[in-house]
């Protein structure tokens, strides 16, 4: 790789997620309806009318589509760079990042372990072994936020099933974009996250000040229904990110601000610019809050409930990599691990699992639980609840005590009920309405 192979890094952290969001709001009544339902659910979690049922760590299968122009070899990033990004995600979403001690003391009690981990898929959609990396050459010199990178017909790569995998496209982006995501509720064929290759991971082509892997952390935050912390109101102080424990602020912060930075009358502590959902440099952002973790729970237990089950895309224990949190290394996918098992905040409830519960997204959803019921709705949507849930083995390979099994059954039943509610909500919303092209 030569220096001329590398693009000049953007001068500021530019995210295209809200541009995509506004385009979809303008184009699709289905998207507007789904977003309203998703926002209503998040509000119920925010106000305490519903509480998270998930108490263990969820592991999300990842497929990375490297879309590269052969004329610029640097765009075909190495495997090590991809692995470095997964390591960053696993630290950031578990509050295990070493730089979390830079969070100002006043906000340290708010630092949240979101209980989410990421693993490269080990099975492809056909059930064949994979390393979770797809490399696709293109004749495009760059991509924008129009989703062209997400389809082979427009010079990109087609997604794997988006209710089973987090699809990440890594490519050359133009217009100063570092990345963008699609909020939950959008068209399944474009669901996922896009990242500039020189803002992805911590090695290879990753270039300062965006070489800490935090662009992906930020964009996956959007994918899990987090807004920008300032509310995208162009400094009016009239909107916010719909999370109560993040201070309202006037606009995006960039670079590495000094604490405190006061805006919108939010003194004395000012903006929470070190939050992953602001625009500061990678080495200046360190945290999600409890409120943000709660909102991610609302998303995972609602529109993205398919990721709460033992993912078929993960066939077995992952191989530990240097520096990667190890709470789930050596555990079977879908096994619940207490969130407090990782370094960092331990304010979450005691662990419990939800075995036997499966769910996929709208318009083809399947749910399996412990109640022995079956529901079938419009558009071929089926929900089924199984009759039994086996006792889960403990560390010694033997079944746990009866009390633990009963708790697993209760959690399985509760999650199955939540998934069924979401299925019925989507059926009621879409009816005969198909998503616009």
The catalytic site residues sit at 219
Q: Distance between CA 197 and CA 218 in Å, rounded?
A: 15
Q: Which two tokens stand for residue 95?
A: 């509050």
- The phi, psi pair for 149, rounded to 5°, reads -70, -15
Q: Distance between CA 412 and CA 394 in Å, rounded?
A: 18
Considering only CA atoms, which of 102, 95, 137 is closest in space to residue 117?
95
Q: Which two tokens stand for residue 242?
A: 């719909």
Q: Which two tokens stand for residue 305?
A: 């409930």
Please report, for the chain, how many H helices and E strands are present, in that order: 6, 9
Q: Distance between CA 231 and CA 235 in Å, rounded?
A: 9
Considering only CA atoms, which of 399, 411, 314 is closest in space to residue 369?
411
Q: Which two tokens stand for residue 223?
A: 């994918």
Q: Which two tokens stand for residue 75?
A: 């765009």
**Count of C-beta atoms within a 10 Å radius of residue 268:** 7
Burial of 249: CB neighbours in 10 Å, binned 0-12, 13-18, 19+: buried
Bridge partner residues of 280 (DSSP): none
- The phi, psi pair for 194, rounded to 5°, reads -120, 135
174 close to 70: Cβ distance less than 8 angstroms: no
Considering only CA atoms, which of 187, 188, 170 is closest in space to residue 179?
170
Q: Distance between CA 130 and CA 117 in Å, rounded?
A: 19
Q: Distance between CA 137 and CA 143 in Å, rounded?
A: 13
- The phi, psi pair for 119, rounded to 5°, reads -140, 135
Tell me which H or E stretch contains 62: strand 58-68
Peptide bond into 209 cis (omega under 30): yes
Considering only CA atoms, which of 122, 121, 173 is closest in space to residue 150?
173
């Amino acid at each position: 790789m030569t220096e001329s192979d590398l693009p000049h890094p953007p001068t500021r952290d530019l995210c295209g997620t809200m541009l995509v969001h506004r385009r979809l709001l303008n184009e699709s009544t289905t998207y507007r309806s789904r977003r309203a339902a998703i926002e209503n659910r998040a509000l119920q979690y925010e106000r305490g009318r519903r509480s998270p049922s998930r108490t263990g760590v969820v592991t999300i299968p990842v497929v990375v589509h490297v879309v590269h122009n052969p004329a610029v070899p640097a765009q075909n990033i190495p495997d090590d760079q991809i692995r470095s990004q997964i390591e960053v995600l696993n630290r950031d979403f578990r509050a295990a990042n070493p730089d979390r001690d830079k969070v100002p003391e006043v906000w340290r009690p708010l630092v949240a372990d979101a209980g989410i981990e990421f693993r490269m898929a080990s099975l492809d959609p056909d059930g064949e072994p994979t390393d979770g990396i797809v490399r696709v050459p293109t004749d495009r010199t760059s991509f924008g936020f129009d989703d062209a990178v997400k389809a082979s017909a427009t010079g990109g790569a087609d997604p794997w099933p988006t209710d089973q995998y987090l699809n990440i496209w890594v490519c050359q982006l133009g217009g100063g974009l570092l990345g963008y995501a699609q909020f939950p509720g959008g068209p399944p064929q474009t669901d996922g996250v896009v990242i500039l290759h020189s803002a992805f991971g911590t090695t290879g082509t990753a270039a300062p000040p965006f070489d800490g892997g935090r662009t992906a952390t930020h964009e996956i935050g959007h994918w899990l229904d987090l807004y920008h912390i300032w509310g995208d109101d162009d400094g009016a102080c009239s909107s916010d990110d719909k999370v109560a424990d993040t201070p309202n602020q006037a606009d995006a912060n960039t670079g590495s601000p000094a604490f405190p930075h006061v805006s919108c009358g939010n003194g004395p502590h000012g903006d929470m610019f070190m939050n992953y959902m602001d625009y500061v440099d990678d080495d200046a952002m360190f945290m999600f809050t409890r409120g943000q973790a709660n909102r991610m729970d609302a998303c995972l237990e609602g529109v993205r409930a398919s990721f709460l089950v033992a993912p078929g895309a993960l066939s077995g224990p992952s191989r530990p990599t240097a520096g990667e949190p190890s709470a789930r290394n050596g555990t079977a996918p879908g096994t619940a691990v207490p969130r407090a098992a990782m370094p960092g905040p331990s304010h979450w409830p005691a662990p419990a699992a939800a075995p036997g519960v499966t769910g996929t997204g709208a318009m083809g959803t399947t749910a399996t639980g412990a109640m022995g019921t079956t529901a079938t709705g419009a558009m071929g949507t089926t929900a089924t609840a199984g009759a039994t849930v086996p006792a889960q083995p403990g560390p010694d390979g033997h079944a746990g005590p009866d009390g633990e099994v009963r708790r697993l059954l209760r959690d399985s039943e509760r999650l199955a009920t939540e998934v069924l509610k979401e299925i019925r909500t989507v059926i009621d919303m879409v009816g005969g309405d198909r998503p616009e092209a």
